[in-house]
Amino acid sequence: MKNNIFKLATLVLFTFVVAVNASLAQAPKRIDFAKEGSNSLVWEQKVEANSSKSFVFKATKGQVLTLSFIDDTKKGMMELGKESIEPNADPYQATISVTKDYTFMVKNNSPKKTSFRIAISLEDPKAKKK
């Protein structure tokens, strides 16, 4: 009987720890181009020391994605899936092959909180340019 109570208590504790960790994990911040009223956004993002932030956006097949970031510390990184986007370099550009949500992450590898400047745009090649 005591053994069963111990097993139950252990299971409850384990479930609680897993639930707390899951709730503390940050969900990616959604970038909504329609809500922002633009297909091109630039912003500054603060990231805590030795941590990362993720962003998600919806892209449609055929759109051209341009993504870049400026990192004055030179200790940051950005990833879009398996692609590594170099800081302070020419923007990463790709044509979207599948309509879906895409996630990118910026990571601060320095021991201090820092800011990155992020630029993203989604261009529809079919749209008429003025």
Write the pLDDT tens digit of every residue in 46-105. Answer: 999 999 999 999 999 999 999 999 998 888 999 999 999 989 999 999 999 999 999 999
Its pTM surpasses 0.85: no
Residue 37: per-residue pLDDT: 84
Residue 24: per-residue pLDDT: 46
The amino acid present at 63, given as its one-letter code, is Q
The C-alpha R_g of the chain, in whole angstroms, comes to 20
Q: Is 70 exposed, middle or buried (0-12, 13-18, 19+ CB in 10 A)?
A: middle
Sign of CA dihedral 63, 95, 32, 36: negative
- On the question of pLDDT at 118 being above 60, the answer is yes
Characterize 7-34 residue by residue with b for buried, 16 or more Cβ atoms within 10 angstroms of its Cβ, and e for exposed.
eeeeeeeeeeeeeeeeeeeeeeeebebe
Contact call for residues 107 and 76 (beta carbons, < 8 A): yes
Contact call for residues 49 and 111 (beta carbons, < 8 A): yes
pLDDT > 70 fraction of the chain, expressed in percent and rounded = 80
Query: Which residue shows structure tokens 């003025």?
Result: 130
- Strand bridging mode 114-123 / 40-47: antiparallel
Q: Please name each of the domains of the chain with its CATH number.
A: 29-123 (2.60.120.380)
